[in-house]
Amino acid sequence: MEAVIRNQRDAVLEKRPNHREVYGKQLTVNAENGRLSANLITIKPEGEIIPHTHEVLEVIYIIEGEASVLVNGARQKGEAGTILVAPAGSEHGILNTGDKDVIMYCVFSPAIA
Give the Cα separation of 20 and 2 in Å (integer): 36
In a domain, 70, yes or no: yes
Q: Which pLDDT tens digit goes with each residue over 74-103?
A: 999 999 999 999 999 999 999 999 999 999
Residue 110, preceding peptide bond in cis (omega within 30° of 0) = yes
- Asked if 11 and 26 count as a contact pair (C-beta separation under 8 A), the reply is yes
In a domain, 16, yes or no: yes
Domain that holds residue 28: 12-109
- Asked if 59 and 106 count as a contact pair (C-beta separation under 8 A), the reply is yes
In a domain, 5, yes or no: no
pTM above 0.85, yes or no: yes
In a domain, 98, yes or no: yes
- Asked if 92 and 51 count as a contact pair (C-beta separation under 8 A), the reply is yes
Q: Which pLDDT tens digit goes with each residue over 26-77?
A: 998 777 877 899 999 999 999 999 999 999 999 999 999 999 999 999 999 9
CATH code of the domain covering residue 71? 2.60.120.10
Provide the pLDDT for residue 109: 94
Question: Which residues, listed in sequence order, are joined to residue 103 by a DSSP beta bridge?
Answer: 42, 64
How many domains does one find in the chain? 1
Give CA separation, 43 vs 21, 62, 102, in Å: 6, 11, 5
